[in-house]
Amino acid sequence: MAFDLQATINQVPTDIGPVIITLTDTAEGQFAKFKVDVLDQDGSVMGAKSGNLVPHLTAGQISTANAFMSAMRTKVENEILP
């Protein structure tokens, strides 16, 4: 399971902290990664999970993310490069 978490004694996963998604557009390709903190009953981070987001996305979500990254690259190039 992609989000399997091993709890220590006395820790119960009760909440999710920030979910961070990083989209990367490089010459080698486009990538999507995730990181999420799992919080225990006291609000302490009991673990973090991270990995490749692509296997968890639908074809439509991948297409939308790719289009967004391409549009952002074009915008940055047009606004920053001479």
Report domain extents, the chain: 15-80
pTM for this entry: 0.67
Strand, helix or coil at 65?
helix
- Mean residue pLDDT of the chain comes to 87
Local confidence band at 6 (pLDDT 50, 70, 90 cut-offs)? low
Count of other CB atoms within 10 angstroms of residue 32: 19
* Cβ(56)–Cβ(67) below 8 Å: no
pLDDT score, position 29? 83
pLDDT in tens, 29-53: 888 999 999 999 999 999 999 999 9
